[in-house]
Amino acid sequence: MIDFHNIYPELFLMLAMLFLLLVGVFIKNSFTLIKKGTILSLLLCIPIVYINFDNQLLIFNNNYSINFFSNFIKIIILVASVFSLIFAGQYFKRTNIDKFEYMILVLSSTIGMFIMVSTNNLIGLYLGIELQSLSLYVLASIDRNSLKSSESGVKYFVLGALSSGLFLYGCSLIYGFTGSTNYLIINENFSIENLGLIFGLVFILVGLAFKISAVPFHMWTPDVYEGSPTSVTAFFALAPKVAGIGAFIQILFIAFGTAIEEWKSILIFISIASMVLGSVAAIGQTNIKRLMAYSSISHVGYALAGLATGSFVGISATLTYMSIYVVMNIAAFTCILFFSRDKIYYEDIRDLRGLSKNHPVVAACFCLVLFSLAGIPPLAGFFAKFYIFKALIESEMYLLAIIGLISSVISAFYYLRIIKIMYFDKEVEKFDDMSGLGIKLSLASSTLMILLYFIVPSFLLNLTDIASKVFS
């Protein structure tokens, strides 16, 4: 019982979720109220996480860890969730998905993500993943009237269930050969000579790779991204990716810390495949959500490349990458949610023609974000990629670095294409003017962060450095 005060953030979110659920059940038309309540409780959770920021604890019989690393990721998850709600603005109302369950599901998946990054046990990890994924399956199909949304929910669910099955099979193999589901004990009993353990490791990695949509387990991503309501797509692209990478780091460096050479080669392959496929496949896309899906696949590839080094510098680079990735995606999706005219949201990139004439400020922000996603200095995206390449070259993985750089040039092409459409083409009709403080706030803050990151690049790097030291 004495351990409970260490998991206040999780408890707080859970209570808030239950309370808001009750409010939703008993008060009619309470969407706006519950949305505000959700945002407030997510925001309140940030200081609660922050109080115990520097603690380094293993609780519940070493099955749950609270440390700098997990707290750092939790804060990113919270920020991402908050922004994914506030930048949607009028989107919920206009597309008739203003159902209070939406908010409850966001909260419950956030709790799931918290568990994913904190747990030190395979069962805990599985529960966290399922709590997160089940909420996401429902979120994907929350627009009941849209065929596409329902289809994407079912697709996500079927494939997700399959990957959970693979994951569980891996867990059972690991449990069978090491006698425990606890990461620390697995690490003690792990022997690379045992083929069963290697199989288990591979299955677990496959299950996790599915969740962060790394190639070759990425097939669901473009369809689900396209079919889901845009605000849900934004949420998919932000928080679950970070949580997935966090879980990846936890399990790789704690449970399988002795088998670095074994999983390294798997990660190298996944990372190369994701970077290359994400860059090449996006070239032909015209739907901006599909394009962002492929872009996120390639970004996950870069993040995994950092992990593939198997070093602490690599972890730190990956964490930096994911933090900047979240900021960039917040800005990008804010812009995407802006492209609407009379309740219709436009997703084809050709609809952005001449945006720079009609909406110079939004176009300039989007242009900066795209340059940043392409990794052009001095924007934040360049530094994110740079740290990854620095870690790779420090570990003498030149091939991976060169492939990564070449695919970043390829991906520059499709980001440039959007800029071309916005700036070089003749304008079409105007979009609705930007309304709502939330959109303005999230666009301004995220763009400024991207633009001005170069002034204090050490700040984020210090944090991720400390976070990566947790694993030594």
Residue ranges in contact with other proteins by CB under 8 A: 371, 376-378, 382, 386, 389-390, 393-394, 398, 401-402, 405-406, 408-409, 412-413, 416, 419-420, 423-424, 454, 457-458, 461-462
Report, in Å, the least distance between residue 76 CB and other proteins.
21
Whole-angstrom CA distances from 99 to 144, 225, 226, 334 are 11, 20, 21, 21
Q: Which is nearer to other proteins, 126 or 453 (CB)?
A: 453
Q: Which is nearer to other proteins, 42 or 379 (CB)?
A: 379
Q: Which is nearer to other proteins, 40 or 402 (CB)?
A: 402
Report, in Å, the least distance between residue 420 CB and other proteins.
6
Report, in Å, the least distance between residue 413 CB and other proteins.
6
Report, in Å, the least distance between residue 307 CB and other proteins.
18
- The DSSP result for 369-421, as a single string, is HHHHHHT-TTSHHHHHHHHHHHHHHHTT-HHHHHHHHHHHHHHHHHHHHHHHH
Report, in Å, the least distance between residue 472 CB and other proteins.
18
Q: Which is nearer to other proteins, 366 or 389 (CB)?
A: 389
Look at the chain and count its residues.
472
Q: Which is nearer to other proteins, 408 or 442 (CB)?
A: 408
Q: Which is nearer to other proteins, 169 or 423 (CB)?
A: 423
Kindly report the three-state secondary structure assignment for every residue of 313-351. Answer: HHHHHHHHHHHHHHHHHHHHHHHHHHCEECCEECCEHHH
* d(C-alpha 171, C-alpha 181), whole Å: 8
8 A C-beta contact, residue 442 and residue 327: no
Main-chain dihedrals φ then ψ at residue 111, nearest 5 degrees: -60, -45
Report, in Å, the least distance between residue 380 CB and other proteins.
13
Q: Which is nearer to other proteins, 188 or 394 (CB)?
A: 394
Cross-strand bridge partners of residue 58: 65
Residue with tokens 């899906």: 293
Report, in Å, the least distance between residue 412 CB and other proteins.
6
* d(C-alpha 231, C-alpha 209), whole Å: 23
